[in-house]
């Protein structure tokens, strides 16, 4: 009797939605951004005001655009380092503590000094460029150590280890083997590169953080204050809830929308998944499949224009000669194919196990939901502003203002004074890990630039693959996924963009396609076992087994492992040198290919798929996806044959059922 009672209680608990406390605990477990101390009283106000000051400074810098680049980056880094050492504990055991330790106080004071050093000494440093004083050297050395420690706390150990390894390579160049050998940098030159010059810590990655990324994170913070996250859920339920396997499609729809305002896979999983995963489980989806759907969909949010992951803003600077709008436009078809692939697979799974949509009682009226459609105005405004030729900074600033104005339409969405200051603080808090990660990534870029390592590794990668494009793509994919397992997308992209992307460009891959290729696989690492943080977070919500959840997520997101190859081999999918006819044919064949692959993965189409049919469906899908005339024709023929076979067998099944019933 007791065992039955416990089972019933467990099932009831499974059906409950994740509460706010559970969400915070799960974020703290899997998302480094959430592993902060919880201060009270005066210290809480100090942190709150510090975060607001950070946002106000960034807004002032964006509006005036009068602060010299190096000064802007120095102050940006000083704010980030100071707040990281106050907020992020030295170990996980200290998470949630409310005391500021003596050593964190010292590190915070040193961070203020580092942030103020360049602005205070700007004239002297500019006039003595190429030389470095003893004070410059020691301040620079302290700055490097602070960046490494702040990155370890706010981002994780792997990216810090990679940065240290690169600096060791720069220092011990003459002792390196073979083609990796170089002249080497002495300690003074190393510090000069990393701190005084614009090639290291104050390089392109931190510049993008201090300009584009910060403002869009602030924009996302204000959007959240309007309640748009819940509105995304309501909108998804209203339009997808009745579909076959409704909750899974709600998760896909909602997470795609969430991705427009959030660059964190784990945060997307926890916020959206706490709503969608319990719905999927109630309908009948397995725990691991429900978690996999949410993890795959939430991870894809970083691929969804117009506001993609933070790395997309870095792409503007790394590629050069392209606008952010061109990148977002190029990423549109691949993103739609990615979510279409997940949609197709969840549809086949729902049909296979006989799931229907949500009951009418759980679906809000479309007329009611559409009353808040105005909340999407800021997102459409971003698209219009970028399309109209506005700079990224101006588009972000205008969108923040539009968000605040739009929120005033209804009382329940209104951003009042309290929400306004909370929005400033939350935006700055979200930017802390990005700032230190990009500063740390700058160390890696500085080493690559000074030593020529990027070209050496690119040439080495091409030689390893024998100049065969598909092999080079495979090695690049593997490197991006491995790096992404321990690094945030931003840092992962910086590393692969400076090392792996040049190898693809050497093989005549268009630069935009090469950079989007490494960008995609850096993101996919969040759902690739054994270190699949988004999948593990989803398992925390669903109660499923983490590795199995990761396997399901990777299976559902199979499109993400195929689509990058598609747009490298067929740049038309990125709208490069193409026309409407080519685009239409590419999209149709790609969708047909994703459908066939989805049937092969799940083992169901219009009816259960025979093992031989599964193999043929997989072959047909891959042939349709591969951009060649002969493969498209062959794949299309096989696809149609399988489709006809499915209809014939389905009709036969129905006739047998009628005969048996008679």
161-164's contacts with Cβ under 8 Å and 24+ in sequence apart are 162/444, 162/483, 162/487, 162/491, 162/495, 163/440, 163/441, 163/443, 163/444
pTM above 0.75, yes or no: yes
Please give the pLDDT value at position 132.
86
How many CB atoms lie under 10 A from the CB of residue 338? 29
CA-to-CA distance for 559 and 635, rounded, in angstroms? Answer: 17
Encoding tokens for residue 290?
A: 């429900």
How many CB atoms lie under 10 A from the CB of residue 411? 8
Please give the pLDDT value at position 4.
39
Please give the pLDDT value at position 262.
65
Please give the pLDDT value at position 94.
65
Count how many residues are written for the chain.
662
DSSP-derived letter for residue 499 is H
CA-to-CA distance for 435 and 566, rounded, in angstroms? Answer: 33
Please give the pLDDT value at position 368.
84
pLDDT, averaged in runs of 10, over the chain (662 residues):
39 50 71 79 94 97 94 97 94 74 95 95 83 92 97 90 93 84 88 91 93 91 88 86 82 76 75 83 87 88 78 85 87 89 89 82 83 89 86 92 93 92 94 93 91 85 88 89 76 84 91 92 84 85 89 88 89 84 85 91 88 92 82 91 88 73 63
Distances (CA, A) of 653 to 147, 349, 600: 65, 19, 20
The percent of the chain in helix, strand and coil, each rounded to the nearest 5, is 80, 0, 20
Please give the pLDDT value at position 647.
86
Please give the pLDDT value at position 18.
60
CA-to-CA distance for 366 and 369, rounded, in angstroms? Answer: 5
Please give the pLDDT value at position 7.
39
Burial classification of residue 217, based on how many CB atoms lie within 10 Å of its CB (0-12 exposed, 13-18 middle, 19 or more buried):
buried
CA-to-CA distance for 469 and 473, rounded, in angstroms? Answer: 6
Please give the pLDDT value at position 316.
87
- Transcribe 126-143 into DSSP letters: HHTTT---HHHHHHHHHH
């Amino acid at each position: 009797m007791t065992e039955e009672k416990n089972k019933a209680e467990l099932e009831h608990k499974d059906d409950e939605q994740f509460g706010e406390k559970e969400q915070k605990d799960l974020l703290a477990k899997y998302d480094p951004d959430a592993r902060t101390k919880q201060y009270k009283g005066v210290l809480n106000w100090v942190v709150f005001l510090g975060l607001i000051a950070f946002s106000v400074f960034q807004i002032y810098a964006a509006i005036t655009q009068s602060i010299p680049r190096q000064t802007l980056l120095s102050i940006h880094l000083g704010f980030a380092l100071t707040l990281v050492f106050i907020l992020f504990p030295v170990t996980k055991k200290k998470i949630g503590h409310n005391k500021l330790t003596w050593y964190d106080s010292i590190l915070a004071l040193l961070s203020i000094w580092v942030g103020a050093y360049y602005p205070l000494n700007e004239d002297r440093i500019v006039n003595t460029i190429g030389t470095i004083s003893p004070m410059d050297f020691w301040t620079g050395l302290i700055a490097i150590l602070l960046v490494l420690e702040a990155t370890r706390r706010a981002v994780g150990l792997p990216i810090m280890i990679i940065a240290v390894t690169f600096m060791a390579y720069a220092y011990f160049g003459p002792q390196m083997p073979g083609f990796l050998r170089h002249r080497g940098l002495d300690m003074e030159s190393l510090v000069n590169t990393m701190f005084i010059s614009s090639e290291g810590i104050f390089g392109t990655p931190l510049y993008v953080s201090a300009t584009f990324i910060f403002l869009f994170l602030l924009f996302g913070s204000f959007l959240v204050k309007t309640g748009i996250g819940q509105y995304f859920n309501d909108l998804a339920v209203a339009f997808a809830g009745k579909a076959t396997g409704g909750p899974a499609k709600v998760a896909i729809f909602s997470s795609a929308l969430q991705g427009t305002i959030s660059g964190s896979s784990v945060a997307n999983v926890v916020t959206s998944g706490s709503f969608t995963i319990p719905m999927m489980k109630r309908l009948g989806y397995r725990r691991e499949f429900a978690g996999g759907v949410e993890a795959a969909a939430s991870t894809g949010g970083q691929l969804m224009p117009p506001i993609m992951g933070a790395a997309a803003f870095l792409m503007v600077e790394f590629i050069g000669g392209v606008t952010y709008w061109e990148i977002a436009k190029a990423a549109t078809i691949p993103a739609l194919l990615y979510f279409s692939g997940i949609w197709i697979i969840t549809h086949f799974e729902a049909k296979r196990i006989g799931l229907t949509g949500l009951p009418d009682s759980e679906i809000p009226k479309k007329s009611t939901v559409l009353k808040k459609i105005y909340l999407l105005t800021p997102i459409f405004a971003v698209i219009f502003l970028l399309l109209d030729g506005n700079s990224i900074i101006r588009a972000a600033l205008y969108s923040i203002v539009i968000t605040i104005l739009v929120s005033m339409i209804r009382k329940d969405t209104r951003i009042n004074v309290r929400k306004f200051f909370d929005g400033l603080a939350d935006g700055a808090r979200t930017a802390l890990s990005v700032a230190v990660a990009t500063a740390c990534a700058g160390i890696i870029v500085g080493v690559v630039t000074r030593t020529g390592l990027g070209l050496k590794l690119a040439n080495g990668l091409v030689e390893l693959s024998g100049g065969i494009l598909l092999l080079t793509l495979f090695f690049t994919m593997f490197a991006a996924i491995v790096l992404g397992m321990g690094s945030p997308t931003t840092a992962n992209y910086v590393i692969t963009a400076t090392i792996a992307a040049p190898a693809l460009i050497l093989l005549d891959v268009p630069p935009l396609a090469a950079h989007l290729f490494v960008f995609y696989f850096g993101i996919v690492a969040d759902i690739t076992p054994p270190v699949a943080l988004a999948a593990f977070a989803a398992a925390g919500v669903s109660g499923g087994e983490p590795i199995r959840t990761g396997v399901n997520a990777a299976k559902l997101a199979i499109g993400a492992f195929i689509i990058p190859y598609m747009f490298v081999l067929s740049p038309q999918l990125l709208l490069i040198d193409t026309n409407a006819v080519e685009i239409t044919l590419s999209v149709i064949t790609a969708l047909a290919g994703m459908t066939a692959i989805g049937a092969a993965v799940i083992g169901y189409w219009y009816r259960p798929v025979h093992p031989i049919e599964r193999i043929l469906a997989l072959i047909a899908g891959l042939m349709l996806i591969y951009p060649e005339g002969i493969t498209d024709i062959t794949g299309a023929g096989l696809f149609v044959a399988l489709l006809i076979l499915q209809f014939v067998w389905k009709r036969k099944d129905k006739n047998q059922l009628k005969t048996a019933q008679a």
